[in-house]
């Protein structure tokens, strides 16, 4: 019974994301409640396990992306300087793009803010808040997320060359 429920949930959430996003490439796997915007562009072999993308800015996610549970990408913020009220303008927004290159893995409950680019092959530790761009092959974490290590680039390139993607 549990396996049937899991298959139905995957089918439902995967089809929901297919309809919500601007573009996607197969395969697409959505294992748990997720939502994206019409400004979301997905590469192939995307794996969401609880992703929420909100705001008016665009999000571009490369191929072979994996997310943990309860991840959030925010591309929009209220305008706070020069607006019609304080603490922020209630009618005007600041939107910023998020770019995630190929082969990126986000742990559970990662938050990514607009204006961020995450380089190819990067890993972001669970619970991190990404406010600045992260270089390719970086292993990062914290509040705000900072690089604390790097992937073994020779091993990474060998796996990529041999087409070993999960």
- The token pair at 155 is 């091993």
How would you write 52-87 as a 3-class SS string?
EEECCCCEEECCCCEECCCEEEECEEECCCCCCCCC
- Answer yes or no: are the C-beta atoms of 41 and 22 closer than 8 Å: yes
Catalytic positions are 78
Task: Give the pairing of strands 40-42 and 59-61.
Answer: parallel
The sign of the dihedral angle between the CA atoms of 127, 23, 138, 97 is: negative
3-class secondary-structure state, position 123: strand
Which residues are bridge partners to 100 per DSSP?
61, 118
């Amino acid at each position: 019974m549990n396996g049937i429920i899991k298959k139905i949930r995957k089918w439902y959430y995967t089809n929901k994301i297919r309809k919500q996003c601007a573009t996607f490439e197969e395969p697409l796997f959505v294992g748990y409640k997720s939502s994206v915007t019409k400004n979301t562009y997905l590469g192939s072999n995307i794996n969401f396990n609880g992703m929420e993308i909100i705001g008016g800015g665009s999000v571009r996610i490369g191929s072979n992306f994996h997310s943990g549970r309860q991840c959030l990408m925010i591309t929009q913020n209220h305008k706070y300087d020069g607006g019609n009220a304080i603490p922020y303008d209630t009618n005007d927004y600041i939107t910023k793009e998020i770019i995630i290159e190929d082969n990126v893995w986000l742990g559970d409950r990662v938050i990514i803010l607009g204006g961020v680019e995450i380089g190819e092959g990067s890993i972001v530790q669970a619970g991190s808040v990404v406010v600045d761009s992260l270089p390719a092959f970086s292993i990062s974490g914290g509040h705000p997320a900072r690089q604390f290590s790097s992937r073994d680039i020779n091993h990474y390139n060998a796996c990529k060359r041999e087409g070993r993607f999960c």
